Chains A and B, each alone.
Chain A
Amino acid sequence: MTQPRTTATFTTAMLVCWLIFASVPLWIERVGLYQYLGVEILIFAIYALAYNLVLGHAGLPSFGHGAFFGVGAYAFGLAQFNLAGNLWVCLIAATAAAALSGAVVAAFISHRRGIYYSLMTIAFGQVFWFTAIKAHGITGGEDGLLKIQRLPVDLGVTSFSIADNVALYYFAFAVFVVISLMLWRLVHSPFGRVVKAIKQNETRARFVGYDVWRYKAAVLVLSAALSGLAGGLFAMAQASAFPDVMSLHYSGYVVMMTLVGGGLVSFWGPVMGAAAFFLTRDIVGAFTTAWMLWFGLFFVTLVLFKPEGIAGMIQDLAQRPKLRSRPAAPVTPAEAR
């Protein structure tokens, strides 16, 4: 009866995750990898966390999220060329443009669920992708938007360059810390719980008085906005923006990362999934160009035998000794871990 009904702002898993990422530039080259890989993993970890807001927390299977990531990347570049060469302006532009795109999509699909929701997101994703390819004057078409600068981080009193990969990594890390902390709060807030309730039972949520449409729309806009932010960072990392990140198979990558990592059962699953994806690409990719085949097989195996993903395996391992010593351990909600 005295069980706490609140969630800690900081958790062990969170601090461990942050510590690991904070130390990456110190050892990544010693294990034969390279600094830019860390940047990619972090950016996609932010993207996957944002995506999981929709898939894992709201249960809305979006297969067109690449659109928002791509819109963010283009918006970052376009803002830099046409608005101001200021990092904050460009990142806000990336976030806002993606949020706006998310709002347009949400207006059309928030009354849907399940497979219909998925199909609509695919359709919209294709519309954005096709537009990016065809709007040559704005996006550069298939040539992409080139010469995007890594803008200096201007903090008013001081300013430092992130042209170097390690510096960019630490900037992305700072963004990751802020976003993950925000999202952690969000999923335990009243809004987050209502979204979770809607995921489980839309009908009942409606009959206890929730305007389900508005919550579904809001969560998509939020997720799109943060995906756009990640896209903006990616444009900076790549120093360019291309339509391929908006394609259906790129949208599929973030779904795979999230599921492989265990986004359905764990807040940190998508982060692990993003890391697993890029590590597979580089490590297996060093042996064979068909690395995607192996990652795909791994994905299929997981879906068949362990749909809870990597996070689910870790949870199982963590629980096993506890079960032995305390057989009557109470069932606790998985997302608390």
Chain B
Amino acid sequence: MALFEAKDLHLRFGSRVVLENVSLAFEAGQLSGIMGPNGAGKTTCFNVLTGRYKPHRGQVLLEGQDITGRSPQEIARLGVARSFQIMNLFDEFTVFENIAIALPATRARGGNMVAQAYADRTLQDEALEILDKVGLAARADDMAKALPYGARRALEIAVALACRPKLLFLDEPTAGLGSDGRARLAELIRTLKGDLTIVIIEHDMEFLFSLADRISIIHWGQVIAGGTPAELKANPWVQSSNLGRLN
């Protein structure tokens, strides 16, 4: 059984069908990629999988448990975290606090109105360890809004990591990054791979083909192809797109 499964998802915005018959399965420990042109429904698909939108039809299963239509916070608490294509940070917090607030340890104490929020050493260490992993430990006390773009991209992922997820959805983590930034991010994702089940939406095919175990292609709201990178290179759609030039 796959860790996470979507079965036959349908979603309409008004009369426009945005997802049709979308079925996906993500195996534990694997890195899966979702690819497709702009407006194909990739982010919408993420939004359904992580609880932002409720599908009109279909099922979302986490470890066999039906989580269709649950709220984002419920799904997050079940161990599914996500990052955002458009940066979604706590800008007025320090880098440290962006992480600390997302830790399950803080969440568990969310009703506490008296104690210091981050006095606990283990909590601090946990946050710093995550920052260390993404290379931001030295900037822990900077304001999030003061970080350069690439560092903000890394923090975007770190906040999702701080949720201690089983499954991590990354929505275009390289959006807006130059080739240096992409290389660094690819390195980071490679280190996360294995410990975590990861699903990445990505435009950059080269980036995805070098990392993913499996890739699904979404076009016009439908999954039009899926397979290992090697299999996909033989796919006619892939060959007719810019990826053809990769080979």
B76 close to A207 (CB less than 8 A): yes
Contact of A212 with B by CB under 8 A: yes
Residues on B with C-beta less than 8 A from A201 are 88-91
**Interface SS of A by simple majority:** helix
Enumerate B11-44 residues with CB–CB distance to A below 8 Å: none
Which one of B97-105, B182-190, B205-213, B224-232 is at the interface? B97-105
Give CA–CA (A3, B102) in the complex, Å: 20
A16 lies within 8 A of chain B by Cβ = no
**A321 interface residue per 8 A CB criterion:** no
Contact B113 A330, beta carbon cutoff 8 Å: no
A134 at the interface (CB under 8 A from B): no
Is B60 in the interface zone, CB < 8 Å from A?
no
From known contacts A204-B88, A211-B73, A333-B143, infer whether A191 and B113 are also in contact, taking CB-CB under 8 Å.
yes
Q: Tell me which residues from 322 to 336 in chain A have a Cβ below 8 Å from any Cβ of chain B.
A: 330-331, 333
Alpha-carbon distance A303/B146, docked complex (angstroms): 24
A1 contacts partner chain B, Cβ-Cβ < 8 Å: yes
Task: Return B87 CB to nearest CB of chain A, in Å.
Answer: 10
**Considering only CB atoms, which chain A residue lies closest to B76 in the complex?**
A209
Band of interface residues on A: 20 to 34
Which of A161-169, A182-190, A247-255, A272-280 lines the interface with chain B? A182-190
* Residues 278 to 337 of chain A near chain B (Cβ within 8 Å): 330-331, 333
Closest B residue to A206 by beta carbon equals B72
- Listed stretches B61-69, B116-124, B196-204, B237-245; interface member: B116-124
- Interface flag for A208 (CB, 8 Å): yes
Residue ID in chain B nearest A200 by CB atoms: B90
A210 within 8 Å of B (CB atoms): yes
Q: Find the B residue at minimum CB distance from A189.
A: B113
Q: Which residues of A contact B138 (CB under 8 A)?
A: 1
B81, B82, B113, B163: most-surrounded residue (chain A CB, <10 A) = B113
Q: How far is the CA of A155 from the CA of B215 in the complex (A)?
A: 72
- Asked whether any CB of chain B lies closer than 8 Å to the CB of A82, the reply is no
Q: For residue B108, which residue of chain A has the nearest CB?
A: A190
Partner of B116, one of A189, A207, A210: A189
The 13 listed contacts between A and B (C-beta, < 8 Å) are A6-B116, A190-B106, A192-B117, A193-B118, A196-B92, A200-B92, A208-B107, A208-B159, A208-B160, A208-B162, A210-B110, A215-B110, A333-B94
Interface pairs A-B: 6 shortest CB-CB: A209-B76, A208-B102, A190-B109, A204-B88, A193-B117, A191-B113
